[in-house]
Amino acid sequence: MEGEIEASANSGGTSDGSSLNLAKRKIILRDSATLMILALATLILYAITSFLFRSFETRRAELGKKYAARGAVALRAGQPEQAIAALRVAQSYAPDARTNHLLLAEALAEAHHTEEATNYFLSLRELTPADGFINLELARMAREKGETRQAIDYYRAASLGNWQGDGLTRRREVQLELSDYLVQNGQRAAARAELLVSAANAPETGALDTLFGDKLQAANDPNDALTYYQKAVKLDRHDFSALLKGGRLAYAMGDYDTADKLLTLAPREESRASASEPDEAEVTSLLQDSERIQRLTLSKNLPAEDRAEHIRTAAGIAKQRFDECAAKFDAGSPDAGSQDTGSEPSGLQSLKTQWQTAAKLLNRRSSLQNAANQDSMAQLVFDTEIQTSKLCGAPTGDDALLLLLAKSRHGAR
Amino acid sequence: MSQETASTEAPASSPLNSAALFMREERLFLLLSIFIGILSGLLVVSFRMAIDWLQVLLLGAAPAAGQKKLFLVPAAIGLVVSVLTRYVFPGVRGSGVNQTKAALYIHNGYISVRTVIGKFFLSALAIGSGQSLGPEDPSLQIGAGVASLIGRRMKLSRERLRLFAPVGAAAGLAAAFNAPISAILFVIEEVIGKWSAGVLGSIVLAAVSSVVVARWFWGDQPVFRIPSITLRDPRELLAYSVLGVIGGLASLLFAKSLEYLRPLLRRQSQWFQLLQPSLAGLLVGGIGYFGFPEVMGAGYGAIDQAMHAQFAFKMLLALGLLKIVATTLSFSSGTPGGMFAPTLFIGAMLGASVGSYEKILLPHLTGSIGSYALVGMGVLFAAFLRAPLTSVFMVVEVSGNYSIILPVILANTIAYLISRSLQPVPIFELLTHQDGLYLPSMEEEREEHEAHLEDAIQPATIPIVHGAESVWNTMKNVEQQEGAAAATAVLVQCTDGGWYAARREELQKIFAELGSDLSSPEAQIPLETRLGAERTPLIFPDQPLSSVLPYFQRWPVLPVSNRALRGALEGILSLESVLKSYRLQLSGSAIPSASTVGDHSIST
């Protein structure tokens, strides 16, 4: 070749202008023709490759779908290992199918391949960092691994992230899950804040209000919880669950009036037919207790007459409880307490003295009209119930209710 | 292959001169590079498609352990491939890298169409049937074959035709990896061996064109996707260093296995050689049948799974070691197919296993298992294929993740150094030696010490005179200088900053013409005027030694100047000192240091 080029160079030196032009033209023509053929060959090869590629891709997509469906079914059926195998095959045929990636990652998480699933979700998160589902799954896995800080961060990212379908509902679910996790980790204030934000954005339905009531109660916020139960009742006066939970909470909070109001509504409603037997029994019991407590209450808010009457009744009950307890000690009962078996403890002796003094007050009807006397009498009743519960065991009946009042008053103080 | 020779013709009986033909080729070269890139890209896409199709057809859509076809199919197809390789396509054995180098250095860039067709179909059959080989090296040879074919059809000169082979190789590899930079670097690092501006433009054009075609079909996403890495603690690099050490040792094991088994199998009888691909298929299939189907084929799916931490530590280690066994069997049997993908597979598995283990030991490390797998790929690539620069860019390109660069550089360098010290002969060179060929070793060429002037420089012991002096004064001056009588040459420092090295005879002739007449006008002429305008060439200590050899025909000695101070003399060179330096280099002796002669310069 080189020799030929040299030869052509030599001949070039001797040829005239026309033969040079002719040679140039021939080479240009030949090169153009070759390039045209090359371009044509490229187009033909492109057409063939495109056709084959399309057919190949279609087949791959079919296989991808087939195995993805198989994996999804296995996952739903609670067979994550089978789902993993099928989804891996699906992924090899449809590597860009995001659903397959998510399903596979989910299957790995289900099968407790936490590390694998975490890495997988992290790589997916690289592509869509604001995806709610991915962040939620990462939060769950961080939670499983005990990485509290990261779990909370992922939960928050999930609650603010993008969701397919009903985003509001999904975000609320994430917030509720986060609040549960926060409660579980003792971060009740953070949980309460999360719940209040979520509740503020939630639509007003009885079920949701009840749910928020439950969660707020778990987050140590009984006041807000009671508010949400009451909201649920306001929306639906037949809501047995809200009535029961609200009544129970109000009773526990010492708000017997509210408890009574809520619980009074509950048994009258037809919807209670759907309630379970234990719930119904509880409502009845709570209602009876609430009503009885309201008859026994020694609140200063009562009219003086009524309060005097209540104190007289309560004093009778407490005195009887005291006598029974003291008698046990007098008899040397082994059940009477561990510290002073056979002899009255000093607490009882003090009460005995007080009751002796109080007997005069009780005998004189007019003396209980005095507010100071009422207070001292009420105090004696409460002290008696508290002391006897310590020395003679847990009371029952009215004594138990009086003890409840005593404790709530003590707590209030 | 060896019997094939270039059969190109120049434009028939063209009266154009060689300059015009050169210009024509120059222009065509760039244009054809684009065509080579596009055609190579299309062929590589088809090649990869053929492999995937054949895999589905032969092994089923979901090959799994326990399926009998896993070892029956590779064995049967191995026999078919073996027969076709022996009787129809004898040039398709091996990976394709050495064959392309042979085309470049032995066959003037000639690769036959039959070889390209054979490489395409037989490699696809072998890899699709589960042989543990990869598609990248065959893609490289297919690209080179396309380039060779186009060059021949365009009736390019032999020189151009030879250059087309690496251009096509880069295009083929770029499309196969979807990584243009790595392909360009690999071809320069491993095939051409040097940066050449003339061919670089064409290589880049071809590689970019082929990648554009590949991405047109496959999309532009990186081959592997891993989370970005944040190196919070520099101590974490120690963990990657461990990976570098393990990778270096693993590459040694892999290379030694091939070094032992390949010639052993080639020494067997012809009949047994014919059965070897089938037996290799049976054994590789057996590995798949008994629980490790991931080892079969190129294994990209398994690499992806390893990167996403879908394998446990022991499984990763087992897969890495079994892949070494399987690839050694498949490749040594003479089955056509490449070693790039298996190398990446082994690296990914070892990397992921090291990552998993280090995660257990040091759970606070921030690097994911995927990042270790990715670094592992680069490590094996650097250590086994001995392409350190390509390995770094390859990892960055296939992951599209620059954050990995520091661990990759560190681990790759460690692995490369270990491999080089324990296995002095690189794998591609080893294979060519086994085939009875002696192609240039690019690693050796890269590290070859080129002698420089500073290696031969000597102190200026000959008389030095100033050119501005009159001829009479110079004569007296030379006579008074000690040892001047024995000197064969005199250095004249001219006022224009240049030097003139005069032979003794030349000066004596001038002095003789002067006679003893001090008062004559000739005696007062400055010497440099008498010597004329010619000066010794301006040379510096860092120039190649070979560059000064032609000057000794004219000059007895050559003054070596200082680059910072023109006219300042670093020393002198004589033909004897240059030859002595070459002799020392050949005998491996230490080259004398320039520091021993550096003090003899004179200042102007």
Predicted confidence (pLDDT) per residue in A278-323, tens digit: 666 777 777 777 777 777 777 777 777 778 888 888 888 888 888 8
Q: Would you place residue B255 in the very low, low, confident or very high pLDDT band (cuts 50, 70, 90)?
A: very high
Q: Does the beta-carbon distance from A1 to B227 stay under 8 Å?
A: no
B464-466 and B489-493 strand pairing: parallel
| Maximum distance among all Cα pairs of chain B, rounded to whole angstroms | 111
Q: What is the 3-state secondary structure (H, E, C) of B570-604?
A: EEEEEHHHHHHHHHHHHCCCCCCCHHHCHHHCCCC
- Both tokens of A373, joined, read 């006397």
Contact B81, B276 (CB under 8 A): no
Kindly report, residue by residue over B486-534, the tens digit of the pLDDT.
788 888 988 888 899 998 888 888 877 777 666 677 778 888 888 888 9
pLDDT score of A4 more than 50: no
B interface test, pick of A49, A100, A101 with most B CB neighbours within 10 Å: A49
A interface test, pick of B25, B30, B36, B42 with most A CB neighbours within 10 Å: B42
In chain A, the percentage of residues whose pLDDT exceeds 90 is 22
What's the average model confidence in pLDDT over A122-147?
86
Q: Does the beta-carbon distance from A9 to B17 stay under 8 Å?
A: yes
A-B Cβ pairs (cutoff 8 Å, strict)? 143
Closest among A345, A350, A336 to A379, alpha carbons compared:
A350
Nearest to A52 among B32, B49, B225 (CB): B49
Matching residue, tokens 């059940």: A335
A interface test, pick of B14, B51, B374 with most A CB neighbours within 10 Å: B14
Give the residue ranges of DSSP H helices in A342-370. 346-363
Kindly report, residue by residue over B435-460, the tens digit of the pLDDT.
887 777 776 666 667 788 888 898 88
Kindly report, residue by residue over B177-230, the tens digit of the pLDDT.
888 999 999 988 888 777 777 788 889 999 999 999 999 998 887 777 665 666
- Distance to chain A for B379, nearest Cα, Å: 22
In chain B, the percentage of residues whose pLDDT exceeds 90 is 44
In chain A, which residues have their Cβ closer than 8 Å to the Cβ of B221? 96
CA separation for the pair A258, A190 (Å, rounded): 28
Matching residue, tokens 């051409």: B192
In chain B, which residues have their Cβ closer than 8 Å to the Cβ of A125? 227
- Taking the Cβ of residue B352 and every Cβ of chain A, the question of whether any pair is shorter than 8 Å is answered with no
Out of A136-145, A165-174, A403-412, B351-360, least confident range: A403-412
In chain B, which residues have their Cβ closer than 8 Å to the Cβ of A118? 309
Maximum mean pLDDT: which of A131-135, B13-17, B474-478, B580-584: A131-135
pLDDT score of B595 more than 60: no
Q: Would you place residue B20 in the very low, low, confident or very high pLDDT band (cuts 50, 70, 90)?
A: low
pLDDT at B224: 75
DSSP B219: -
CA separation for the pair A356, A364 (Å, rounded): 14
pLDDT at A92: 85
Q: Which amino acid is at B461?
A: T
Kindly report, residue by residue over A202-234, the tens digit of the pLDDT.
888 888 899 999 999 888 888 899 999 888 888
pLDDT score of B380 more than 90: yes
* Residue burial B323-338, b: 16+ Cβ < 10 Å; e: rest: bbbbbbbbbbbbbbbb
Out of A132-146, A181-195, B192-206, least confident range: B192-206
CA separation for the pair A281, A267 (Å, rounded): 10
Kindly report, residue by residue over A189-207, the tens digit of the pLDDT.
999 998 998 888 888 888 8
Nearest to A122 among B10, B46, B368 (CB): B368
Q: Would you place residue A2 in the very low, low, confident or very high pLDDT band (cuts 50, 70, 90)?
A: very low
pLDDT score of B71 more than 90: no
In chain B, which residues have their Cβ closer than 8 Å to the Cβ of A19? 15
Kindly report, residue by residue over B386-419, the tens digit of the pLDDT.
988 899 999 888 888 788 889 999 999 999 999 9
Torsions phi, psi for B574 (to 5 deg): -125, 165
Which helix (H) or strand (E) segment is B14 a member of? none
pLDDT at A151: 92
Instruction: Quote the Cα angle for A68-A70-A72, to 5°.
Output: 70
Q: Which amino acid is at B165?
A: A
User: 3-state class of B131 per DSSP?
Assistant: coil
What's the average model confidence in pLDDT over A330-357?
65
Kindly report, residue by residue over A353-366, the tens digit of the pLDDT.
888 777 777 766 66
User: 3-state class of B417 per DSSP?
Assistant: helix
What's the average model confidence in pLDDT over B264-270?
92
Give the residue ranges of DSSP H helices in A276-303. 277-296
pLDDT at A5: 40
- Both tokens of B49, joined, read 């498609």
Nearest chain A residue (CA) to B27: A31
Nearest to B10 among A5, A31, A53 (CB): A5
CA separation for the pair B103, B3 (Å, rounded): 12
Q: Does the beta-carbon distance from B15 to A8 stay under 8 Å?
A: yes
In chain A, which residues have their Cβ closer than 8 Å to the Cβ of B159? 2
- Both tokens of B229, joined, read 């890495």
Torsions phi, psi for B184 (to 5 deg): -60, -45
pLDDT score of B604 more than 60: no
pLDDT at B363: 66
Higher pLDDT, B349 or A272: B349
Q: Does the beta-carbon distance from A27 to B24 stay under 8 Å?
A: yes
What's the average model confidence in pLDDT over B261-276?
93
Dihedral in degrees, nearest 10, Cα atoms B498, B503, B506, B512:
110
Dihedral in degrees, nearest 10, Cα atoms B101, B104, B106, B112:
90
Matching residue, tokens 């690499």: B303
Q: Would you place residue B301 in the very low, low, confident or very high pLDDT band (cuts 50, 70, 90)?
A: confident
pLDDT at B384: 95
In chain A, which residues have their Cβ closer than 8 Å to the Cβ of B51? none
Contact B15, A8 (CB under 8 A): yes
Q: Does the beta-carbon distance from A123 to B158 stay under 8 Å?
A: no
pLDDT at B311: 82
Contact A229, A216 (CB under 8 A): no
Nearest chain B residue (CA) to A111: B310
pLDDT score of B166 more than 60: yes
Q: Does the beta-carbon distance from B21 to A9 stay under 8 Å?
A: yes
Q: Does the beta-carbon distance from B308 to A116 stay under 8 Å?
A: yes
pLDDT at A343: 62
Nearest to A1 among B31, B158, B304 (CB): B158
pLDDT at B588: 61
pLDDT score of B594 more than 50: no
pLDDT at A164: 83
pLDDT at A30: 83
Contact B486, B506 (CB under 8 A): no
In chain B, which residues have their Cβ closer than 8 Å to the Cβ of A85? 62, 64
- Distance to chain A for B7, nearest Cα, Å: 9
A interface test, pick of B17, B34, B55, B300 with most A CB neighbours within 10 Å: B17
Q: Does the beta-carbon distance from A5 to B157 stay under 8 Å?
A: yes
DSSP B567: T
The residues near B561 (Cβ < 8 Å, ≥ 6 apart) are B499, B538, B539, B540, B567, B568, B569, B570
Long-range contacts of B472-481 (CB under 8 A, 24+ apart): B472/B514, B472/B518, B472/B523, B472/B524, B474/B507, B474/B527, B475/B511, B475/B514, B478/B507
In chain B, which residues have their Cβ closer than 8 Å to the Cβ of A102? none
- Distance to chain A for B249, nearest Cα, Å: 28
pLDDT score of B135 more than 80: yes
Q: Does the beta-carbon distance from B14 to A26 stay under 8 Å?
A: yes
- Both tokens of B603, joined, read 């200042």
pLDDT at B444: 66
pLDDT score of A341 more than 70: no
CA separation for the pair B234, B95 (Å, rounded): 39
CA separation for the pair B272, B370 (Å, rounded): 42
- Distance to chain A for B207, nearest Cα, Å: 16
pLDDT at B318: 95
Nearest to A126 among B42, B159, B228 (CB): B228
* Residue burial A293-306, b: 16+ Cβ < 10 Å; e: rest: bbebbbeeebeeee
| Maximum distance among all Cα pairs of chain A, rounded to whole angstroms | 153
In chain A, the percentage of residues whose pLDDT exceeds 70 is 85
Q: Would you place residue B581 in the very low, low, confident or very high pLDDT band (cuts 50, 70, 90)?
A: confident
User: 3-state class of B84 per DSSP?
Assistant: helix
Kindly report, residue by residue over A53-107, the tens digit of the pLDDT.
999 999 999 999 999 999 999 999 999 999 998 998 998 888 878 888 889 888 9
pLDDT score of A267 more than 70: no
Long-range contacts of A299-305 (CB under 8 A, 24+ apart): A300/A371, A300/A375, A304/A369, A304/A371, A304/A374, A305/A369
ipTM: 0.75
pLDDT at A235: 86
pLDDT at A367: 65
Q: Does the beta-carbon distance from B159 to A2 stay under 8 Å?
A: yes
CA separation for the pair B443, B338 (Å, rounded): 20
pLDDT score of B251 more than 90: yes
pLDDT at A11: 47
Average pLDDT, chain B: 85
- Taking the Cβ of residue B379 and every Cβ of chain A, the question of whether any pair is shorter than 8 Å is answered with no
* Residue burial B512-532, b: 16+ Cβ < 10 Å; e: rest: eebeeeeeeeebeebbbebbe
